[in-house]
A and B are shown apart, each in its own frame.
Chain A
Amino acid sequence: MSAETPGVPVAEDLFEQGADGVGLIGTRCAGCGAHYFPVSLSCRNPVCDDKRTVRTTLGRTGTLYSWTVQHYRPPALYRADEWEPYAVGLVEVPEGLRVLAKLIGRDTDALEVGMPVRLVTSPLYTDADGRRVDTYAYEITGDGIGAGGGSGSPGPASSTDGPRA
């Protein structure tokens, strides 16, 4: 699903694409180590007095924390040539964040908490100059950890199913 030739990012400074794949552009605080996405103007940590922020990339892989399927087309600010209900996921990434993103690579009714994902680009539309405009998305790369999903059996209430073993 990820495009082979790089398109134009839907927003500047959103993600970058290199030999080692796609990374989200964010900020790391040199003082307390907190990560932010998108780039932040400062550090939000109230106990951090340093607040020197440096640009970084993050979120190349993660696990699916939760998701929804949007059944109504979003307002016009969301521009896409194709429309059908699509999944929006919340992905836990190794940098201490959960990231909101479109999900691709799996039927929307086959999603499960804990599925491993990797960051890719995904085409949105072709602009007036004929350029393909891409956004970032997470592609499902494996199976989930079962449980929950209305089965009535409580799963583990945790944030430990991320990759930070």
Chain B
Amino acid sequence: MTGVYVLGVAAHPWGKWPDKPQLQLAIEALTAAADDAGLPLRDLDGLVAASSRFEGGLGWGLHANEVLQAVSESGAQAINVGGGCAAGGIAIHTAASLIASGECEVVAALGAERMPKGFIPRPPGQPDDVTDTDYLRWVAIGATNPAYWAIEARRRMYDHGTTPETLALASVTMHEHAAANPLARYRKRITVEDVLASPRVADPLHLMEICAVSDGSAALILGSEAAARRRGGPLVRVAGSAVASGRFGDPAVRIPTVSMASDGDATHTSEVAGAVLRAQAAAGIGPKDVDVLEMADNSAWHVLAWPESFGFAEPGESDRLLQDGEYGIGGRLPINPSGGFLSFGEATTAQGVLQVCELAWQLRREAGERQVPGASVGQSAVLGLGANGASVVLTA
């Protein structure tokens, strides 16, 4: 086993880019990451693509082989991984494993996404029967994705007394972070009043409290310690990375299911909690060691609930931590200095890669106005449709 290091990172700004094919978004991010690593693309031993279901790859989603065929026919190994939004994290884990095993010296992980507008529709090619809950939830209930998050948020209000204003503040904080990030989609500072005045989508969640589907791409180039020392600059290490799936009895209101356990004993969102704990164990750290967290905030509820589910805070404690600024830059645990899904934007499979790019910028002290002071341990947490979880720990 050898150490795994970050050699290069890059991301294309998130937004709506109707004139740029997914492949072009992918090439731009990969090329920029290679420049950041100071390597020509022909030096990649492998490319791992986080495959999207929406576009590209001859129907298979973004395809590493398609990217290499377009930009560098070097003969490198091409690997594609799926896992919904978690695919980016799974791609990084795969790339890191190829290096840790000694099989490869330099491997890139890549995500690129162009999202459909509005509610995310059902993928093609599924059976129209009750065994497919993604069919059932639409025809029988019409349950949109925000409805799932809203039901969690409503229950949190009951369990912990969370107020609409606190939910809104979560979105305000994420927008505050994005305002300082040139790559983010929404860079305008907003107020709690703005959030509460935005259209109600699924009570208690307003439009500004749910993620906005976006287009974007991100790439991360990993290498061995020898490759990292050749690059020079601050050494940023992949101290831990992990992939996990859900556990039986998880009470999460999980898209696209229509029932879940009420009497189980699994942690809420166990796929992500499992990945977070495994990545920490691999890195030999605990939650208190983490200086900055990049996590998937599909809604304002996630900003409050996830740190509690994953051991960063006690149940019900997030409301006060958020109000006290502890989840902001300069706080005890800054969450999503990138701006997160809520205001950086959401480009599903690319997001898990972008999260780790942001951690690398933070640990290299290259994050400008959104720099988390003294950040030397960063962790990502991402959830993929179904019950896929992934997490990466970087240290510097």
Which applies to chain A's interface (DSSP): helix, strand, loop or mixed? loop
A1 within 8 A of B: no
Contact of A90 among B129, B133, B136, B253 (CB under 8 A): B253
Contact of A14 among B128, B136, B253 (CB under 8 A): B136
Interface bits A62-87 vs B (CB < 8 Å: 1, else 0):
00011111111011011110000010
Contact of B258 among A10, A13, A67, A99 (CB under 8 A): A99
Chain B, interface residues (CB within 8 Å), range: 35 or more
B139 within 8 A of A: yes
Give chain A interface residues in 103-161, CB to chain B under 8 Å. 108, 113, 135-136, 147-157, 159
Contact of A78 among B139, B146, B257 (CB under 8 A): B139
A46 within 8 A of B: yes
CB-defined contacts of B142 to chain A, threshold 8 Å: 70, 74, 78, 80, 86, 88, 102
B263 within 8 A of A: yes
A46 to B161, CA, bound (A): 35
A102 to B142, CA, bound (A): 9
Partner-binding segment picked from B62-70, B196-204, B227-235, B342-350? B196-204
Chain B, Cβ-Cβ closest to A72? B201
Contact A100 B158 (CB under 8 A): no
Known contacts: A71-B201, A98-B262. The answer to whether A12 contacts B131 by CB under 8 A is no
A30 to B205, CA, bound (A): 40
A46 to B264, CA, bound (A): 13
Chain A, Cβ-Cβ closest to B143? A88
Contact B315 A71 (CB under 8 A): no
Q: How many residue-residue contacts, CB under 8 A, span A and B?
A: 175
A50 to B147, CA, bound (A): 35
Contact A70 B258 (CB under 8 A): no
Give chain B interface residues in 117-153, CB to chain A under 8 Å. 118-119, 121-122, 128-131, 133, 135-144, 146-147, 150-152
Shortest C-beta distance, A54 to chain B (Å), equals 16
Contact A36 B202 (CB under 8 A): no
Contact of B263 among A69, A86, A96, A108 (CB under 8 A): A96
B164 within 8 A of A: yes
Chain B, Cβ-Cβ closest to A145? B158
Contact of B260 among A10, A77, A97 (CB under 8 A): A97
B163 within 8 A of A: yes
Chain B, Cβ-Cβ closest to A153? B161
A88 to B164, CA, bound (A): 19
CB-defined contacts of B164 to chain A, threshold 8 Å: 150
Contact B140 A66 (CB under 8 A): no
Looking at B164, B200, B258, B262, the one whose CB has the most chain A CB atoms below 10 A away is B262
Contact A100 B141 (CB under 8 A): yes
Give chain B interface residues in 189-220, CB to chain A under 8 Å. 199-205
Contact A100 B253 (CB under 8 A): yes
A45 within 8 A of B: yes
Contact A88 B141 (CB under 8 A): yes
Shortest C-beta distance, A44 to chain B (Å), equals 6
A19 within 8 A of B: no
Shortest C-beta distance, B268 to chain A (Å), equals 11
Enumerate 30 A-B pairs (CB-CB under 8 Å) in ascending A order.
A10-B140, A26-B259, A38-B258, A45-B248, A65-B262, A68-B146, A74-B143, A75-B122, A75-B138, A77-B135, A77-B139, A78-B142, A88-B143, A90-B155, A93-B262, A96-B263, A100-B137, A113-B158, A135-B140, A147-B158, A148-B159, A149-B157, A149-B158, A150-B157, A152-B163, A154-B160, A156-B159, A157-B159, A157-B160, A159-B251
- Seen from chain B, the residues whose Cβ lies within 8 Å of a Cβ on chain A are 118-119, 121-122, 128-131, 133, 135-144, 146-147, 150-152, 154-155, 157-164, 199-205, 247-248, 251, 253, 257-263, 315-316
Given contacts A150-B157, A157-B315, 6 further A-B contacts (CB under 8 A): A78-B138, A88-B141, A93-B262, A135-B139, A135-B140, A157-B159
Lowest 5 CB-CB distances: which A-B pairs, in order? A148-B158, A78-B142, A68-B150, A74-B142, A66-B155
